[in-house]
Amino acid sequence: MAVKLTEFSDSLPQTDDFRSIVLKQTPLIDVRAPVEFAQGAFVSASNLPLMNDEERQKVGLCYKQHGNAAAVKLGHQLVNESVREPRVQAWSKFMEQHPEAMLYCFRGGMRSKIAQQWLADSGHDIVRLKGGYKAFRRYLIDFLEAFPNLLIQQDIQPLVLAGRTGSGKTLVIQQIEQAIDLEGIAHHRGSAFGRHATPQPTQINFENRLAMALMRFIENPTRHLVIEDEGRNIGSVSMSKPLFDALKSGQRIIVDTPLAERIQITFQEYVLEAQQEYPQITDWVEFMRAALSRIQKRLGGERYQRVLKQFEQAWDLQVRTGETYGHEAWIKTLLTEYYDPMYDYQMQKHTHSICFKGSREAVVEFLNTL
């Protein structure tokens, strides 16, 4: 006889030790519908739903019109034996690959209990998250809100890595342990041209990832937290003002890189690497044209036309010969005539104490001695 949707045991194990889940990066099964998962989830979670979007919508509508009993009955009809079996198999396969896995639904209620019971019936014991996604998400948000005070309590001093565009700040961040890569978490390079070919995380997912990264960071004994000099907004995602102010409150470390090297760093990242991200290189070209258009007013008419012409000439050269060096011309113009004046203005407007200035190599050495 098939197990009905309401036949589950309340004695099945559950946990709300979210800190341990973050620190161990425990694999999670998210049994919510795909549409819910897309709105917000956790880095270590895989979406293996109990009901798909259409089934969830039908059950939800039935619940509103006819009540809980009718909705449960409809759910049982939709997720019948033939539908249920491959979903249980998917959960079981995940558990075989990740024996320490846990599962959750939105509130830790019926959906996760059903999945947990069905797994138990198939010989796989799994722990579900008490309070589900909602409780875990609340835990992470509370941590982000408390983090500014945690910096003070644990005597962790923020250090802000500054420098002109193209100076290689991200390269420094990637070489030191006491750093948080905000651009990496946001999946954005932090400029008008910083979008990747694949989408940024949602605001919810950005906050979840940032909270987890910071939580793991403070577990390691350190007196400094190094971040790159970012704005509150990184592409389409943003930090809360209290958190942003706390992270940006520290002294500045300036990465001082010669222009020729800055051009090459920018060329490598925004041309060579960026072109590799796109299935069709023409998609990259259209993105770059759109990005230039977005800063047209700030560039001014004459400079915009000049940069655009340099870009089109570089692209034409690449199409005809396969050579990419032509892109260095428009990069140099943007760095010297657009980004450098903007950087100088910001440094004059917001005066901060500078504790070190040097080349990338010198900065890495300085930070590793702290």
**How many CA atoms are closer than 13 Å to the CA of 53, on its beta-carbon side?**
6
Other C-beta atoms closer than 10 Å to the C-beta of 7 total 13
| Residue 154 tokens, joined | 């644990």
Catalytic residue among 79, 105, 243, 254: 105
Dist. CA 173–CA 224, nearest whole Å: 13
DSSP 230-277: --SEETTEE--HHHHHHHTTSEEEEE---HHHHHHHHHIIIIIIHHHH
User: What kind and span of H or E run contains 224?
Assistant: strand 224-228
In terms of Cα–Cα distance, which of 90, 95, 108, 97 is closest to 32? 108
Residue type, 337: E
Residue type, 28: L
Other C-beta atoms closer than 10 Å to the C-beta of 220 total 8
Dist. CA 70–CA 63, nearest whole Å: 7
First to last CA, the chain: 65
Other C-beta atoms closer than 10 Å to the C-beta of 38 total 13
| Residue 81 tokens, joined | 């034996």
3-state SS, residue 225 = strand
- Dihedral sign, CA of 307, 309, 312, 316? negative
Dist. CA 331–CA 337, nearest whole Å: 10
Report the length, in residues, of the chain: 370
Dist. CA 47–CA 53, nearest whole Å: 12
**Residue 105 annotated in active site:** yes
| Active-site residue set | 105
